[in-house]
Amino acid sequence: MQKVYLDNAATTPLAEEVIDAMVSVLKNNYGNPSSTHSFGQEAKVLIENVRRQAAEYLHVSPAEIVFTSCGTESNNMVIKSCVENLGVERIITSPMEHKCVAETVLELKNKKKIEVVYLRPNKKGDIDLEDLEAKLKNSEKKTLVTLMHANNEVGNLLDIEKVANICKENEALFHTDTVQTMAHYPMDFSKIPVDFASCSAHKFHGPKGNGFTFIRKNSKLKSLITGGPQERSLRAGTENVCGIVGLGKALELSLANMEQYRNEMEEIKSYTISSLKEAVPGIVFNGRSGEMDKSLYTLVSVLLPFEEPLIGMKLDMKGIAISQGSACSSGASTPSMVMMMLLDDDQIGNGTPLRISFSHYTTKDEIDYFVDNLKIIVEEHLIEKTEC
């Protein structure tokens, strides 16, 4: 049976070059980077090279990059420390955020009694930046704004430069979850005044369990994990050298081929959109997903015009991996929080959300195989409807 992987927003396969780089470290560089002998120092050099590489990509200084275990940890670290250590009393966010941001904010609200203000997105998932500005102007409380660069379920892109400038003008801190955009888009934080951002290697063909946090210099953020002085005391624990090297190799490949990969994936995305429109009458593109310039080129999110809770399983039986929402909520029988915000009442219970996400390995033949199999399911539903 053909196997087609269209769930790259959940995770991506490791690039061969990444595997090779990691295997080499596992075999040859077992020293502890905190050790002063040559074994340790060789490992330390490997880490520092990746830190420099990440810093160059973001146009920041290497001291502003802190390696972590994942995007979830990076986001937790920033949000929790802003409240614990930087005197943040109010967080402005949106209901479109990833669970690792949403749940962290909620927990802080429950425990610390910080004020949380939600910006209500419209039915396309757009955040009203005038509303953000008004909310920032009307408060004396020290505020953190946390808004994601791109939504992982529908792909909506946010103008983080605009948000960062609004925050700066109003003396608020700005954290952005860039897990779906790091290594896919150019980032210049010497021009965009974001304070904190997150990265996760497994979203761009690097290893799972590796990421980094960008922390603007002099921000006085503290470590989430206490212990040794690793990562300039911002993240205790012996570094995952092999994973960091894997992250570095994946970043190197993504940056060297960014334009080419983007062009290829944009072509795959438009091809998917037109094939789906032809194959599924009444299909809806969720949020800004159908608009190339306003959404991630790595994914498309649709609502099929019938309810089929077993669609993920049916496609899986044909060897096709897609998501019925994000990886965190797939398998759940109810639509995710994000979909609930975007769908009209009559669409909930009458439609099936699907997220199809690409990598530069995705081919048009794979899209054809997916669409052909989806068509069979659509036809079954049309027959069922006429028989009723």
Active site residues: 328
Output 66 or 377, the one with its CB closest to ligand PLP: 66
The two structure tokens encoding residue 271: 């091809």
Output 187 or 371, the one with its CB closest to ligand PLP: 187
Window 336 to 355, contacts with ligand PLP (CB under 6 A): none
Is residue 7 part of the contact set for ligand PLP (CB under 6 A)?
A: no
Is residue 213 part of the contact set for ligand PLP (CB under 6 A)?
A: no
The DSSP output letter for 239 is -
Residue partners of 71: CB distance under 8 A and separation at least 6 = 98, 100, 177, 179, 198, 199, 200, 203, 211
Is residue 211 part of the contact set for ligand PLP (CB under 6 A)?
A: yes
Minimum gap (Å) between residue 293 Cβ and ligand PLP: 20
* φ, ψ of residue 15 in degrees (nearest 5): -75, 145
Minimum gap (Å) between residue 212 Cβ and ligand PLP: 11
Among 152, 213, 286, 324, binds ligand PLP (CB under 6 A): 152
Output 98 or 269, the one with its CB closest to ligand PLP: 98
Window 187 to 206, contacts with ligand PLP (CB under 6 A): 200
**Nearest alpha carbon to residue 172 among 130, 207, 137:** 137
Round to whole Å and give the CA distance between 166 and 23: 45
Round to whole Å and give the CA distance between 326 and 93: 19
Query: What sign for the dihedral angle of Cα 369, 372, 376, 382?
Result: positive
Minimum gap (Å) between residue 203 Cβ and ligand PLP: 7
Among 80, 90, 98, 288, binds ligand PLP (CB under 6 A): 98
Give the Cβ contact number of residue 294 at 10 Å: 17
Round to whole Å and give the CA distance between 33 and 14: 24
Window 161 to 180, contacts with ligand PLP (CB under 6 A): 177, 179-180
Minimum gap (Å) between residue 91 Cβ and ligand PLP: 16
Among 14, 46, 47, 70, binds ligand PLP (CB under 6 A): 70
Is residue 72 part of the contact set for ligand PLP (CB under 6 A)?
A: yes
Ranges assigned E (strand) in 201-316: 211-215, 284-285, 299-304
Where does this chain bind ligand PLP (CB under 6 A)? 70-72, 98, 100, 148, 152, 177, 179-180, 200, 211, 327
